[in-house]
Amino acid sequence: LAIVSPESGEGRSYVAANLAVAFSQLGRSTLLIDADLRKPSQHTIFGFTRRIGLSTMLTGRIRLKDLEYLPDSFPSFNQLAVFGCGAVPPNPAELLGSGTLPLMLRELVKYFEFIIVDTPPAIFQGDVVSIASAAGSALMVAKRDQTRITHLKNLRYILSQSGVNVVGSVLNKF
């Protein structure tokens, strides 16, 4: 499930983190992937500093078979793993569009019941479409008194044209 929003500052990363924590607290093995290769934030939310992450995987410096050992785990949430962004690359759109992400997600499904993917804002349309297409479904996030309904409608249209199932939306107050 890709967590998407039209612009930055709408709470997409916090919704992704909280949703992942909620699934893990239900006893479901959950992976949160920080796929915002432009301005990642899950490492800040969860307080880890590992430099190996999604960007490392997409550049081919680590192999698909090593995936089960890479996500960070947290003792207080024993069913939660977080796969950070890694180093911010100079070419995010190219990496996300390379075809490696769908392969990676198909491999990760073997280890986790739920996979939540934090995305960059939809102003980086190519990034969001690549990620949401690989995930297959998306949850849209809007911030009260900030997000314009026309931007949400445009995002929904772009995603549906790309074959992404938009499963719903969240109105974020913070």
Mean pLDDT across 10-21: 96
CA nearest to 135, candidates 50, 54, 65, 73 = 54
**DSSP 8-state class, residue 47:** T
CA nearest to 1, candidates 173, 171, 159 = 159
* pLDDT band of 64, cuts 50, 70, 90: low
Instruction: Let me know: does 117 contact 35? Beta carbons within 8 Å.
Output: yes
Lowest mean pLDDT among 8-17, 69-78, 120-129, 150-159: 69-78
| Residue 27 predicted with pLDDT over 70 | yes
HSE, side-chain direction, 13 A CA sphere, residue 159 = 29
| Residue 70 predicted with pLDDT over 70 | no
**DSSP 8-state class, residue 54:** H
- CA dist 106 and 158 (Å) reads 23
Query: Torsion over CA of 106, 69, 61 and 99, rounded to 10 degrees?
Result: 10
Residue predicted with more confidence, 69 or 33: 33
CA nearest to 160, candidates 129, 123, 122 = 129
